[in-house]
Amino acid sequence: GIQVEQSPPDLILQEGANSTLRCNFSDSVNNLQWFHQNPWGQLINLFYIPSGTKQNGRLSATTVATERYSLLYISSSQTTDSGVYFCAVSNYGGSQGNLIFGKGTKLSVKP
Amino acid sequence: ETGVTQTPRHLVMGMTNKKSLKCEQHLGHNAMYWYKQSAKKPLELMFVYNFKEQTENNSVPSRFSPECPNSSHLFLHLHTLQPEDSALYLCASSQTSASGGSSSYNEQFFGPGTRLTVL
């Protein structure tokens, strides 16, 4: 099945810093989502981005489907950005309803 | 608020108990999912329902029994669980579109989860 690798596994930032999170996947995908999991476990949708670039406030994401990776950019980080960021994909070859999750990047933003 | 609700939010049960988790979506979607998040494993799919029909069972033990009475409600019935089943159980929903005899699954939205502890 498709493999999803996220890097880095852990990231510590000072408030106001910028960061880039990476997601590599091993096969072509028809769905790619970025999530932020808050300390209470809620998965919050950030982007639905199987290809192209999107921006939402301080966050933006780019997926280069032909090279099988996606990047999540966080600018001017805030303490409320802390939590775990997940990349998840599904592809035509497998069960399309099955989102395959990476292990996540744990972000800690210090004041 | 994602439009997907789950109850209860926390559940503690013994290995001989029978309990049920409930999920409801208010987004008009036609596909619903159960995922499990354990402390030492990535989030993994358990079941998929598309138009109330189960389309995926990801080799889940029979002590977990899903039920989908309609497109808005999804249950997970639990019985004779083991301590290693303690985890965060997440429900999700999405809209599917049919094309050429197959379904295309779109963006998934998740509920807040039920944190289950099995003693």
Contact criterion met (CB below 8 Å) for B117 and B12: yes
pLDDT of B10 above 90: yes
Greater model confidence, B58 or A53:
A53
Cis bond upstream, residue A8 (ω within 30): yes
Cα–Cα distance for residue pair B29/B6, rounded to 1 Å: 16
- Chain B CB contacts of A84 below 8 Å: none
CB count in 10 Å sphere of residue A52? 10
Whether the CB of B107 is below 8 Å from some CB of chain A: the reply is yes
Cα–Cα distance for residue pair A85/A83, rounded to 1 Å: 7
At residue B51, the pLDDT reads 75
Nearest CA in chain A to B95: A97
**What are the tens digits of pLDDT across the range B23-48?**
999 999 989 999 999 987 889 999 99
Residue B98: band (very low, low, confident or very high) from pLDDT cuts 50, 70, 90 = low
Residue B99: band (very low, low, confident or very high) from pLDDT cuts 50, 70, 90 = low
- Chain A CB contacts of B113 below 8 Å: 41-43
Residues of chain A with pLDDT under 50: 94
At residue A109, the pLDDT reads 96
The label of the residue with tokens 């939010």 reads: B9
Average confidence (pLDDT) over B69-89: 95
Q: Quick one: which of A39, A20, A40, A13 has its CA closest to A87?
A: A20
